[in-house]
């Protein structure tokens, strides 16, 4: 009798659970119960002081609303809307008024740890040296793409995307806001602990609007960290070779390489780096048109070169970075010495400092300053430049 009673109780419980499960509305569960909503505000004041040009300053506020559904039959969707209001539009400051869809894609969580996305999406590969989102600017760079990421093999991440449009940081009507593409991005990363992080990549950029941005780039990257008692050591090494791609009218071959080493002790750290975006004897240079350029080669953005990130003579960047964390305050100081890879041109030097402080869980405040000087005269980047940024962010 006890066994029968227990069996009856279990069957009754299972039946009730099944009825409850059947009564759940999958659409309500995906679009309401399991959905996620995020709201961000970023208020920024930027001041740009360039020799021979009147001082310019601007205040902008970006509001970002992100909505992601829960899964329904392994499908989900994400929509993200950005709005930027500005006190003015200044030629030296690359933030503009706009309202647009920053991301809008459908995702599918497939078998064997596979994630598929189709639509407008954020693509950030490795340290964003070749493919990134320019996240520092108020208008982020996103991609209209089909992408697949697989993590079925332990410690291995394989990523591929086909990009048919790059949504750049420039405003509507400028003629620079979108670049049509037929681009393939392949990135395979193997990570086994902190000491070994290796990546092989092939970025085959075919830019329909600007043929000079079309390149075929193949490279390898290694980075890692090693802890010896209280001392932390880090390293990075990278090499890539680039040639013309798509309908690029210039035939060339240029190399990229970077070496870096760092040491940390407690709350303090120091890094040294040597980066070369090479030149093919002054005919053409190694370019990075999809990169987060602001994060590399100085904060004053002297070497954007129209979005290419390099010029025909190449760029050599020798730099030192110091960091510290004190009572929640993050401090950073950088120094760069720039030279050409071809032609023995002094391309100047830059130093910069930054401080960021998060508080009250949802908020952070930051200040950043950079000063560029000392370049050989007669080039488009030779004017001394100082820039200041004050930023307040809130995330909910």
What are the residue ranges spanned by the domains of the chain? Answer: 30-395
**CA 349/CA 382 separation, integer angstroms:** 10
CB-facing half-sphere around the CA of 174: CA atoms within 13 A? 17
For residue 88, what pLDDT is reported?
87
**CA 274/CA 295 separation, integer angstroms:** 15
Q: Is the C-alpha dihedral spanning 278, 281, 282, 284 positive or negative?
A: negative
On whether the pTM is more than 0.95, the answer is no
- Find how far residue 28's CA is from the centre of its chain: 34
For residue 20, what pLDDT is reported?
44
**In 230-354, where does DSSP find H-type helix?**
none
For residue 23, what pLDDT is reported?
55
In which residue ranges of the chain is pLDDT below 50?
A: 1-22
**CA 203/CA 295 separation, integer angstroms:** 20
CA dihedral 188, 159, 36, 177 (to 10 degrees): 110
Q: φ, ψ for residue 210 (rounded to 5)?
A: -125, 95
CATH number of 30-395: 2.40.160.10
């Amino acid at each position: 009798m006890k066994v029968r009673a227990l069996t009856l109780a279990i069957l009754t419980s299972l039946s009730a659970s099944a009825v409850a499960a059947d009564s759940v509305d999958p659409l309500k569960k995906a679009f309401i119960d399991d959905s996620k909503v995020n709201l961000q505000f970023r208020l920024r004041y930027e001041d740009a002081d360039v020799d021979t040009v009147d001082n310019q300053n601007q205040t902008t506020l970006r509001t970002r609303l992100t909505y992601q559904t829960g899964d329904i039959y392994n499908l989900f969707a994400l929509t993200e809307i950005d709005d930027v209001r500005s006190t003015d539009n200044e030629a030296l400051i690359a933030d503009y008024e706009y309202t647009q869809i920053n991301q809008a894609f459908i995702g599918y969580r497939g078998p064997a740890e596979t994630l598929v996305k189709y639509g407008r999406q954020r693509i950030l590969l490795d340290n964003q040296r070749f493919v990134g989102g320019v996240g520092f600017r108020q208008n982020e760079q996103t991609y209209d793409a089909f992408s697949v990421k697989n993590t079925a093999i332990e410690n291995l991440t394989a990523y591929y995307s086909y990009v048919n449009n790059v949504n750049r940081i420039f405003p509507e009507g400028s003629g620079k806001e979108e670049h049509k593409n037929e681009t393939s991005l392949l990135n395979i990363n193997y990570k086994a602990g902190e000491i070994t992080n290796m990546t092989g990549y092939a970025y085959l950029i075919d830019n329909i609007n600007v043929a000079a941005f079309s390149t075929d780039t193949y490279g390898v990257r290694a980075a890692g960290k090693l802890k010896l008692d209280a001392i932390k050591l880090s390293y990075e090494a990278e090499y890539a070779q680039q040639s013309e791609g798509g309908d690029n009218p210039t035939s060339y071959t240029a190399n990229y390489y970077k070496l870096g080493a760092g040491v940390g002790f407690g709350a303090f750290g120091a890094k040294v780096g040597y980066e070369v975006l090479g030149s093919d004897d002054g005919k053409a240079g190694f370019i990075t048109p999809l990169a987060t350029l602001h994060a590399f080669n100085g904060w004053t953005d002297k070497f954007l070169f129209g979005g290419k990130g390099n010029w025909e003579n190449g760029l050599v960047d020798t730099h030192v970075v110091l960091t510290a964390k004190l009572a929640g305050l993050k401090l950073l100081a950088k120094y760069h010495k720039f030279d050409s890879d071809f032609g023995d041109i002094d391309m100047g030097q830059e130093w910069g400092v930054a401080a960021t402080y998060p508080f009250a869980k949802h908020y952070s405040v930051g200040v950043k300053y950079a000063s560029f000087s000392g370049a050989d005269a007669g080039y488009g980047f030779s004017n001394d430049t100082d820039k200041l940024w004050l930023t307040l962010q809130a995330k909910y």
